């Protein structure tokens, strides 16, 4: 059984016992409403699937800041259709969509917003969301979440593109895969370069499939897709322009005696090594003894918060540098990024090798 499958099974089991505070539940519900039909009686994402997705977004470090459930914790500012069309990121995002799926040129923008720091004089956008719907009263819709720093469309949700007489959940697995392949091939890159695994998730209320697309010769998924009801929700979770820092040592953690690469992009941080006064090789050796990064830091009189701040800042700065054209990010913007990624950092530095995530 692969490490990804073990993590997924563990998250599914943990999701059954999760009791989320009302305020957070409401925030997640509002955020995830972008992905489901507003008519809850027709399409409802059940507790088990939502909890699993949220837990995955928090626990598994991938392309930071991509998960809407986390990033929507911050204030979003509405945008009009005209504002989107004259905005640099908005224009670029629409052009990518129109080139990939020409029929969407006739769609109208029915909702849009951006996430940014209102105190930043450069008005840098962290993320921009655009929802388009086919004219004529149809329910055919597409939602895009674009990274304001890299310009990439990191999340895409296609709803009701299949006729009501034959919605997605009635198709064969091969037909579903073909639909997803088409989106990736048109929006991102040549589908021939990828291998895919398709799995029907344990959701008794609604048929749900998860597809992971991995570059041939690699072990880390680049695209993760959920298909449910009559919707396809795709996330670009790896291999973006915001590539993590160079990996000095691989498999810093292990599970069942095999390398676990989950946290490598977070812990391979020169500033962390300097803070702990340790080499990456020695850090791996210490982790192999069953100690957490927090425990190793404590033995060197370094606090947990110091470790969090160092890793989170590196992640934030690398994300910004990916496509900033040499511009320097404001401190308040960097701190927003750091706050977004902090839950993931905490999960990594408290983790111990040979234990499930």
- DSSP codes of every residue in 69-103: HHHTTS-EEE--HHHHHHSHHHHHHHHHHHHHSGG
Integer Cα distance of 322 and 296 in angstroms: 31
Cα angle 235, 241, 243; round to 5: 90
Cα angle 160, 31, 157; round to 5: 30
Q: Is the domain of 113 the same as that of 177?
A: yes
Which residue's entry shows tokens 């905005």? 87
Q: Is the domain of 22 the same as that of 45?
A: yes
Q: Is the domain of 107 the same as that of 47?
A: no
Torsion angle of alpha carbons 31, 34, 38, 44, nearest 10°? -70
Q: Is the domain of 225 the same as that of 116?
A: yes
Query: Who contacts 173 (Cβ-Cβ below 8 Å, separation ≥6)?
Result: 198, 200, 209
Is 292 within 8 Å of 349 (Cβ atoms)?
A: yes
**Which domain range does residue 53 map to?**
3-71
> Which residues in the chain show pLDDT less than 50?
1-6, 18, 20-73, 240-245, 323
Q: Is the domain of 64 the same as that of 82?
A: no
Within a domain: residue 241? Answer: no
Within a domain: residue 248? Answer: no
Within a domain: residue 305? Answer: yes
Residue-level pLDDT at 247: 56
Within a domain: residue 242? Answer: no
Q: Is the domain of 221 the same as that of 92?
A: yes
HSE (side-chain half, CA atoms, 13 Å) at 321? 9
Within a domain: residue 92? Answer: yes
Domain tally, the chain:
3
Q: Is the domain of 82 the same as that of 230?
A: yes
Q: Where are the beta strands (DSSP E) in the chain?
A: 76-78, 108-116, 125-133, 141-147, 153-159, 194-200, 208-215, 221-228, 231-236, 253-255, 258-260
Residue-level pLDDT at 211: 94
Residue-level pLDDT at 182: 96
Is 250 within 8 Å of 228 (Cβ atoms)?
A: no
Q: Is the domain of 95 the same as that of 57?
A: no
Q: What's the whole-model pTM score?
A: 0.56
Q: Which of 44, 71, 98 lies at the terminal end of a domain, its last residue?
A: 71
HSE (side-chain half, CA atoms, 13 Å) at 241? 14
pLDDT in tens, 178-226: 999 999 999 998 899 899 999 988 776 788 999 999 988 777 788 999 9
Q: Is the domain of 103 the same as that of 223?
A: yes
* Dihedral sign of CA atoms 8, 12, 15, 17 in order: negative
Within a domain: residue 355? Answer: no
Which residue's entry shows tokens 């706050």? 339
Within a domain: residue 95? Answer: yes
| Structure token digits, residue 36 | 């489901």
Q: How many helices (H) and strands (E) does the chain have?
A: 13, 11
| Structure token digits, residue 165 | 């007489």
Cα angle 326, 245, 272; round to 5: 105
């Amino acid at each position: 059984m692969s490490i990804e499958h073990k993590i997924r099974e563990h998250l599914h089991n943990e999701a059954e016992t999760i009791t989320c505070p009302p305020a957070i539940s409401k925030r997640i519900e509002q955020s995830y409403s972008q992905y489901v039909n507003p008519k809850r009686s027709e399409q409802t994402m059940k507790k088990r699937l939502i909890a699993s997705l949220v837990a995955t977004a928090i626990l598994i470090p991938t392309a930071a800041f991509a998960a809407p459930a986390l990033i929507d914790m911050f204030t979003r500012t509405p945008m009009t259709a005209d504002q989107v069309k004259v905005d640099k990121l908005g224009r670029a995002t629409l052009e990518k969509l129109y080139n990939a799926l020409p029929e969407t040129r006739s769609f109208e923008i029915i909702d849009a917003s951006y996430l940014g720091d209102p105190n930043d004089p450069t008005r840098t956008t962290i993320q921009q969301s655009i929802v388009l719907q086919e004219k004529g009263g149809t329910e055919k819709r597409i939602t895009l979440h674009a990274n304001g720093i890299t310009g990439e469309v990191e999340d895409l949700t296609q709803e009701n593109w299949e006729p009501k007489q034959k919605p997605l959940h009635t198709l064969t697995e091969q037909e579903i895969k073909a639909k997803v392949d088409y989106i990736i091939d048109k929006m991102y890159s040549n589908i021939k370069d990828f291998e895919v695994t398709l799995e029907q998730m344990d959701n008794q209320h609604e048929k749900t499939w998860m597809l992971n697309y991995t570059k041939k010769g690699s072990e880390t998924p680049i695209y993760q897709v959920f298909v449910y009801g009559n919707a396809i929700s795709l996330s670009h979770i790896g291999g973006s322009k915001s590539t993590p820092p160079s990996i000095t040592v691989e498999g810093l953690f292990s599970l069942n005696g095999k390398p676990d690469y989950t946290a490598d992009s977070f812990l391979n941080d020169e500033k962390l090594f300097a803070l702990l006064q340790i080499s990456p090789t020695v850090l791996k050796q210490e982790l192999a003894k069953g100690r957490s990064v927090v425990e190793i830091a404590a033995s060197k009189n370094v606090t947990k918060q110091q470790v969090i701040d160092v890793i989170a800042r590196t992640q934030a700065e690398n994300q910004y540098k990916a496509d900033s054209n040499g511009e320097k990010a404001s401190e308040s913007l960097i701190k927003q990024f750091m706050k977004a990624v902090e839950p993931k950092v905490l999960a990594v530095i408290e983790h111990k090798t040979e234990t499930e995530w």
